[in-house]
Amino acid sequence: MKPVLYAHPFSSYCQKALTALYENGTDFEYRMLDHAQPETLADFEARWPIKRFPILVDGDRTIVEATIVIEYLGLRYPGPVKLIPDDPDAAIEVRMLDRFFDNYISTPQQKIVFDAIRSEPDRDPYGVEEARRMLERAYAWLDRHMEGREWAAGEVFTLADCGAGPFLFYADWTHAIDPGFRNVHAYRRRLLERSAFARAVDEGRPYRKFFPLGAPDRD
């Protein structure tokens, strides 16, 4: 039996998990979360009432949170690309960077996008301003961090890069990365050239018109 991923191709967290699956050529069933498939949606919501995706179902086990999906795949469906190093010290660095991309790139990016789809009276301009400030701080830190590095944790592609791809992709659309942050731009370009992430981006292309802030005509 193969694992089942409930996901949507335009979702950044789903692209994070998909990047890991594509890196290792893992065999899985893709259940698309779409209003045209209410049964799949109902099944997903019954399995995970928090209603955040992706989730991975393997037999009678449901794994939630993209990071943990990737950890689980490494444990149960290992492939040639080891996304979490065996060395515990090196793994700490990878997990720390994974938290950086989730908490300080993706979370503020989502805050800005979610605010944009609210009706005017429900908007939170102060929260959006805070999110923009956080993104600026995160871009500045990442620019220094990426000096002389190819991937977030060094020379090899890891879990941290699986999240960095989609999060920097959408963050630049949401709150443009200053051209002065050259290391961040170069890293974002490298991620876009990585075939596993490029495939996830391609699968999301048909949905670009739904990006609430208007998708730029690039990438």
Kindly state whether residue 13 participates in binding ligand GSH, applying the rule CB under 6 A: yes
Closest to 73 measured CA to CA, from 48, 55, 91: 55
* Least distance from ligand GSH to the Cβ atom of residue 152, Å: 17
The distance of closest approach from Cβ of residue 120 to ligand GSH in the complex, given in angstroms and rounded to an integer, is 20
Please report, as residue ranges, which positions from 43 to 102 form the binding site for ligand GSH (by CB under 6 A).
Answer: 51-53, 65-67
Residue whose CB is less far from ligand GSH, 67 or 158: 67
# chain residues binding ligand GSH, by CB under 6 A:
9
Scanning 7-15, 71-79, 91-99, 188-196 for contacts with ligand GSH by CB under 6 A, the matching segment is: 7-15
Q: What is the DSSP letter of 151?
A: B
Q: What does the alpha-carbon distance between residue 191 and residue 81 come to, in Å, rounded to a whole number?
A: 16
CB of 178 to ligand GSH, least distance (A): 25
Residue 30, beta-bridge partner list: 5
Q: Which is nearer to ligand GSH, 70 or 184 (CB)?
A: 70
The number of beta carbons lying within 10 Å of the beta carbon of residue 92 is 12
- The H or E element containing residue 58 is strand 55-58
- Among 3, 6, 9, 12, indicate the residue that binds ligand GSH (CB under 6 A): 12
Query: Is there binding between residue 11 and ligand GSH (CB under 6 A)?
Result: yes
Find the radius of gyration of the CA atoms of the chain.
17
Q: What are the φ/ψ torsions at residue 24 (nearest 5 degrees)? A: -105, 5
66-76 helix and 12-23 helix, angle to the nearest 10 degrees: 10
The residues of the shown chain that bind ligand GSH, judged by CB under 6 A, are 11-13, 51-53, 65-67
